[in-house]
């Protein structure tokens, strides 16, 4: 939910309703920064705990509680990102961001303040694009400061002066961080694939996978396609990245052969056409896709049950 204009926020009594109305905004932000809804919820809980730990006098001295909450949540995320790299070195196999079920509850964002920071459409990404698995994977290649600066400015449209307060840099340095992140993103971009074609490709992939038709799967894949799987040591997966259309197709058919009774369903995954696999009504895998023109370029399969909690009733 968008933060009220600062002119409206000044002098506002920071009552419980006003504060809790910021929760969706904070979840939106923290998920994009951390790639984990569970971690995002923990960050938001900690942010509110810090607010309520202050005295009433301290709370009333804050002109914009919404801005304060966002700043604190962003700083907590920045600290977590800095420590996450060390934690991921001990993670079993590939680490893939937690897949997000379809819906719009995490797509709302801040409208920005054009008077403070005029938006440049060429440097903006939309909120729905910023939750795609491909986007989140590229974010993983950024430094923590780059990631925070880019998400706050390019996605949520905070000014560089506001970003600087979070990352502990000058506005000019914060601008450079966002520019560096933007270059990383652009270097990974392919020519966009229309939404209708994405749906057609994923549906074709589903049909071919269920039919164990290796040739048909290869025909849907880019020659340099890759497949990555995240089991977190809690589910069996191929720990190495599978590369090349033929090897990807054969490995996926091999997985299906070892799991009789697997039901594959079409679902929206991180705002894009995707698939889930269920066994006895329980979601055991979520597949997200990226595309290169008219072919599937990357497949990410999440099997870590700790990352599938949001899919248990879907």
Percentage of residues of the chain with pLDDT beyond 90: 68
Length of the chain (residues):
314
Distance CA 107, CA 109 (A): 6
> Is the separation of the CB atoms in 117 and 70 below 8 Å?
no
Which H helix or E strand runs over 110? none
Strand 272-279 with 263-269, pairing: antiparallel
How does pLDDT run across 51-76, given as a tens digit for each residue? 999 999 999 999 999 999 999 999 99
Which H helix or E strand runs over 55? none
Q: Which fold has domain 195-311?
A: Nuclear Transport Factor 2; Chain: A, (3.10.450)
Largest CA distance in the chain: 69
Read off the tokens for 19: 């504060």
Structure confidence at residue 238 (pLDDT): 82
pLDDT band at 119 (very low <50, low <70, confident <90, very high): very low
What sign has the CA pseudo-torsion 279, 100, 300, 214?
positive
Distance CA 249, CA 94 (A): 19
How does pLDDT run across 137-166, given as a tens digit for each residue? 999 999 999 999 999 999 999 999 999 999
pLDDT over 60 at 192, yes or no: yes
> Is the separation of the CB atoms in 176 and 142 below 8 Å?
no
128-131: list long-range contacts, CB under 8 Å, 24+ apart. 128/271, 129/271, 130/32, 130/155, 131/31, 131/32, 131/100, 131/106, 131/107, 131/270, 131/271
Instruction: Name the residue among 53, 55, 98, 50 with its Cα closest to residue 74.
Output: 50
Give the global pTM.
Answer: 0.84
Which H helix or E strand runs over 289? strand 282-292
> Is the separation of the CB atoms in 94 and 229 below 8 Å?
yes
96: left (phi over 0), alpha (psi -120 to 50) or beta: beta
**Where, residue-wise, is CATH 3.10.450.50 in the chain?**
195-311
């Amino acid at each position: 939910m968008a933060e009220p204009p600062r002119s409206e926020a000044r002098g506002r009594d920071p009552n419980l309703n006003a504060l809790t109305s910021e929760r969706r905004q904070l979840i939106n932000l923290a998920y994009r920064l951390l790639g984990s809804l569970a971690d995002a919820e923990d960050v938001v809980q900690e942010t509110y705990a810090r607010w309520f730990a202050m005295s009433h006098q301290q709370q009333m001295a804050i002109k914009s509680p919404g801005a304060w909450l966002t700043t604190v949540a962003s700083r907590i995320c920045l600290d977590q990102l800095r420590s996450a790299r060390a934690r991921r070195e001990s993670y079993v196999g590939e680490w893939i961001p937690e897949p997000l079920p379809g819906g719009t509850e995490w797509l709302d964002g801040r409208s920005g303040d054009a008077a403070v920071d005029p938006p440049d459409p060429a440097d903006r990404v939309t909120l729905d694009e910023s939750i795609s698995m491909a986007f989140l994977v590229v974010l993983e290649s950024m430094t923590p400061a780059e990631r925070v600066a880019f998400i706050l400015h390019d996605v949520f449209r905070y000014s560089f002066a506001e970003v600087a307060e979070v990352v502990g840099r000058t506005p000019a340095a914060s601008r450079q961080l966002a520019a560096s992140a933007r270059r990383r993103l652009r270097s990974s971009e392919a020519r966009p694939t229309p939404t209708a074609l994405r749906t057609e490709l994923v549906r074709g992939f589903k049909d071919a996978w269920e039919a164990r038709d290796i040739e048909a799967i290869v025909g849907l894949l880019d020659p340099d396609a890759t497949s990555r799987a995240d089991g977190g040591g809690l589910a069996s997966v191929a720990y190495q990245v599978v590369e090349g259309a033929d090897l990807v197709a054969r490995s996926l058919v091999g997985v299906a052969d070892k799991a009789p009774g697997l039901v594959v369903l079409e679902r929206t995954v991180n705002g894009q056409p995707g698939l889930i696999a269920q066994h006895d009504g329980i979601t055991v895998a979520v597949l997200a896709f990226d595309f290169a023109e008219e072919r599937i370029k990357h497949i990410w399969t999440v099997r870590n049950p700790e990352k599938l909690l949001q899919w248990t009733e879907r």
